[in-house]
Structure 1
Amino acid sequence: MEKTWRWFGKKDKISLPMLKEIGVEGIVTALHAIPNGEVWTLDAILDLKKYIEEAGLRWSVVESLPVSEAIKYAGRERDQLIDNYIVSLGNLGKAGVKTVCYNFMPVIDWIRTDLDHRLPDGTSTLFFDKIRFAYFDIHILNRKDAEKDYSQEELEKVAVLDSTITEQEKNQLIDTIIVKTQGFINGNIKEGDQNPVAIFNRLLALYSGIDRDGLRENLRYFLSRIMPVCEEYGISMCIHPDDPPCQVLGLPRIVTDTEDIRWILNAVDNPHNGLTFCAGSLSSGQQNDVPAMARQFASRTRFVHLRSTDILPGGDFIEASHLEGRGHLIELVKIFEQENDSLPMRVDHGRLMLDDAGKGYNPGYSFHGRMYALAQMDGVMATVRYLNEK
């Protein structure tokens, strides 16, 4: 597998020469300065590609070319936005950048409630606390009928939390859930936005009346429109699973399990309609047998995120060591190496460790934590290749 690294452009605190030194081969990045829905020009793409190549690396994967909300909820401007997306894809194809990771999650990308969860060894990691998330949903967003999405036991725990939570903790939940984890990935809300809760509720309202089937059909429409340009330039579109892989905030989520992925790949049955196999997202769903899914979808997987999670009692989950947890990454490497030994992979959501803290890295994207995880996976890949050759 090709060792790649998610890099956030020329202003990233982690430089390309640093990545070259630690054995990275390919870069996963995007034109983060361009607002969602606008065209990525060929000149802008070539400029970034040249910058990467001058460091002795290659631009392996685009993550992400964002899908605008109006495409997902089928707004009036949907077709114009898809037209712009097609132009951007064509420009990427002309530049020779031909693997595109994207997601179709409404309003919110990945969700955590704690970005600095301390572990016994002194490192910290990302954490999802279901009760705190339910509190955010019910008492901060004040979403209509939110209580119906939770069990009586969960509601009782939310009530207890309501009697003790501080204003600082409430503000921290807002910042964590809808600002910090979203703004650096072309999100709908960014640092400095006034009243992010109001913005977030307006975005949720756009999906009123859109159910699971409706969102599926909007994805089918989008993929059908873009497949001709993908075929023309040999571009692989790789949908990312929902994170976490379950229904949240009254929104439909359609990339959560085996049945969902099978539906998507069959709905537009084209080799250019592929999958980003994110072991971390999939392993945080109790319903998912991650190695079995890897075997089933290996032939349509075009990009791999190697990370793992542990599910805790009550629906909480935490990022696991890259050698442990429900992701079973050693088994996944065996599966994907056999299918395609040049498949791009990147490690994901590394712990904060050593002097990572205070460096201003994006949540989940530390330097030393990811370097450590990359070294672990590099060793696993080398072992798998050695055993395959015997």
Structure 2
Amino acid sequence: MEKTWRWFGKNDKITLPMLRQIGVEGIVTALHSIPNGEVWPLDAIKDMKEFIELHGLRWSVVESLPVSESIKYGGPDRDQLIENYKISLANLGKAGIKTVCYNFMPVIDWIRTDLEHPWEDGTSSLYFDKIRFAYFDCYILKRPNAEKDYTADEMAKVHELDKVITEKEKDDLIDTIIVKTQGFVNGNIKEGDLNPVSIFNGLLKKYDGINKDALRENLRYFLSAIMPVCNEYHINMCIHPDDPPYAVLGLPRIITSGEDIQWFLDAVDNPHNGLTFCAGSLSAGLHNDVPELARRFAHRTHFVHLRSTEATPDGNFIEASHLEGRGHLIKLIRIFEKERPDVPMRVDHGRLMLDDKDKGYNPGYSFHGRMLALAQVEGMMAVVRG
């Protein structure tokens, strides 16, 4: 598999020469300066591609060409937004970029409640605490009938947390869940926005009446519309699984399991309609056997995210070492090296370690933590190939 790295453009503190030194072959990036829904100009795409190639690397994957919320909930302007998306895809195809990762998660991308959860060795990683998330849902968002989505035991713990949680901890939850994990990936809310809770609740409101079947149908509509462009330019679309892989905040999630993935692939049965196999997202759900899913869907996988989590029956999960956890990465490498040896892969959500902490890296995208992960994965790849 091609060793790639998610890079956030020319202003990224991690530079392309640094990535050459650690064995990266391909770059995963996007035109982050262009607002969601607007066309990516061909000249801007070519400029980014040439900049990457000047450093001896290639632009392997677009992550992401964002799908606007109005496309997801079926707003009145979705057809125009889809037309813009098709133009952007065509421009990518003209520039020779053939793999596009995206997601169809309503309102919110990946969710964590703690961005620096400490480990005994002094490193830290991303963490999801279900009780703190339920507190955010019920006490901060005050989503109508939110308590019905949690068990009586969970709500009892939420009420107990309310007695001791500090104002700073509440602010940190808002910043972590709404702002920090969303704003740097073309999110709906960014650093500096006033009243993020109000903005967030307004976005949730747009999905009133949108259940799983409706969201599935909107995904089918979107994919059916763009497949002719993908066919013309040989572009592989690869959807990212929901993170975490279950319903949250009263929103439907539709890429959470083997059943969901099979539906999605059958709904638009085109080889260009495929999957980003994110072992981390899938492993956060105890219902998922990650290696079995890899074997089942390798033939329609166009991009692989190699990371792993440890999940517990109480609903909590944490980023695991790339050598451990429910992702079983060495099993996945054996599968993909056999079935899709040409597919690009990247490590993901590395720990904060050494002097990463004070560099201001995007959450989950440290340098030394991901460099260690890449070395671990490269070692596993060598064992599998050897």
TM over 0.5: yes
Post-superposition offset of 1:314 = 1.2
1:204-255 CA-to-partner distances (Å, cap 9, x unmatched) read 0000000000000000000000000000000000000000000000000000
Q: Helix, strand or coil for the counterpart of 1:28?
A: strand
Residue equivalent to 1:217: 217
Structure-2 separation of matches of 1:221 and 1:168: 43
Structure-2 separation of matches of 1:285 and 1:262: 17
- List gaps (5 residues or longer) in structure 1: none
Q: Helix, strand or coil for the counterpart of 2:164?
A: coil
Structure-2 separation of matches of 1:362 and 1:292: 32
> How many correspondences in the alignment?
386
Residue equivalent to 1:18: 18
Residue equivalent to 1:59: 59
Counterpart residue identity of residue 357, structure 1: K
Of 311-320 and 351-360, deviating more is 311-320
Structure-2 separation of matches of 1:328 and 1:321: 10
Structure-2 separation of matches of 1:358 and 1:175: 18
Structure-2 separation of matches of 1:159 and 1:246: 23
Q: Helix, strand or coil for the counterpart of 2:31?
A: coil
What percent identity do the matched residue pairs reach? 75
Q: Helix, strand or coil for the counterpart of 1:358?
A: helix
1:179-218 counterparts in 2 under 5 A? 179-218=179-218
Counterpart residue identity of residue 201, structure 1: N
Post-superposition offset of 1:197 = 0.1
Residue equivalent to 1:171: 171
TM-score of the two chains, using structure 2 as the length reference: 1.00
Post-superposition offset of 1:312 = 2.4
1:128-139 counterparts in 2 under 5 A? 128-139=128-139
Structure-2 separation of matches of 1:136 and 1:341: 42
Post-superposition offset of 1:271 = 0.1
Counterpart residue identity of residue 276, structure 1: T
Instruction: Could you list the structure 1 runs, at least 4 aligned residues long, displaced by more than 2 angstroms after superposition.
Output: none
Post-superposition offset of 1:313 = 4.2
Post-superposition offset of 1:274 = 0.3
Residue equivalent to 2:302: 302
1:4-153 counterparts in 2 under 5 A? 4-153=4-153
Post-superposition offset of 1:354 = 0.5
Residue equivalent to 1:327: 327
* Coordinate RMSD, CA, aligned: 0.4
TM-score of the two chains, using structure 1 as the length reference: 0.99
Post-superposition offset of 1:43 = 0.1
Q: Helix, strand or coil for the counterpart of 1:314?
A: coil
- List gaps (5 residues or longer) in structure 2: none
Post-superposition offset of 1:164 = 0.4
1:252-331 counterparts in 2 under 5 A? 252-331=252-331
1:101-150 CA-to-partner distances (Å, cap 9, x unmatched) read 00000000000000000000000000000000000000000000000000
Counterpart residue identity of residue 339, structure 1: E
1:244-283 CA-to-partner distances (Å, cap 9, x unmatched) read 0000000000000000000000000000000000000000
Structure-1 separation of matches of 2:339 and 2:167: 51
Residue equivalent to 2:365: 365
Post-superposition offset of 1:342 = 1.5
